[in-house]
Amino acid sequence: MSIQIEPLTIDKLPEASELVKRVFPWQSPTERMSFWIYAHRDIPLARAIMKASGVSDIIGFWVAMDTEAKRVLGTTGLYSYRRDASEAIWLAWFCVAPEARGHGVGSRLLDFSISEARRTNRQYLRLYTSDDHREAAAQPLYESKGLRVVRKKRRVLYTEIHRELALKACADECA
């Protein structure tokens, strides 16, 4: 399998959205709109939705493409919240198609995301995930890349897990 990470484009948006919906079926309508908001961020309505949801900026979205089959194998993105925009960048829609797991797609996407996060000169890369079975496979990967658990919050059907990577401290040994 030949994998290439490339920016999310309008033509890949439907396939990326379907993958995210399949991997994260419980996400809110506002969260689901993030790809649309990114693609239309110059439109006042998109900026208003971002502001209302506390997002100060969407840095970018990328897809891992199977260059032979020409299909989306995974997604990743980076954004910032207004509440901690000066210190942190957040991982968005990090996922790998279940049938593509175990082939290094997630590791390549996460390495790429960490590298892009460092370019923002923020202190931390943060993400939230959960112990739901659809997200459980990613936990060892997050650990292996240095994303440590900083908070857990019990929800009705799962536990929300917040993770963080100190980008500046990691700059030399994680590159």
Q: pTM surpassing 0.75?
A: yes
**Phi, psi values for residue 57, rounded to 5°:** -160, 140
Torsion-angle region of residue 127: left (phi > 0), alpha (psi -120 to 50) or beta? beta
**Phi, psi values for residue 137, rounded to 5°:** -65, -25
Mean pLDDT value across residues 5-25: 93
Listed residue (112, 127, 109, 120) closest to 165, CA to CA:
127
Which region among 92-101, 105-114, 164-173 has the lowest average model confidence (pLDDT)?
A: 164-173
Domain locations along the chain:
3-126
Residue 32 has pLDDT above 80, yes or no: no
Cβ atoms 31, 87 nearer than 8 A: no
Pick the CATH number of 3-126 from 3.40.630.30, 3.20.20.70, 3.30.300.30, 3.40.309.10: 3.40.630.30
pLDDT of 168 reads 80
Q: What is the pLDDT of residues 34-65, one digit of tens each?
A: 888 888 888 999 989 889 989 999 999 999 99
Query: In one letter, which amino acid is 63?
Result: V
| 158 CB burial (10 A radius; 0-12, 13-18, 19+) | middle
Residue 9 has pLDDT above 70, yes or no: yes
Give the CA angle between residues 13, 14, 16 to the nearest 5°.
65
* DSSP states of 67-94: TTTTEEEEEEEEEEEGGGTTTEEEEEEE
Listed residue (23, 21, 15) closest to 130, CA to CA:
23
If you search the block for the tokens 């890349």, which residue do you land on?
145
Q: What is the pLDDT of residues 140-168, one digit of tens each?
A: 999 999 999 999 999 998 899 999 999 98
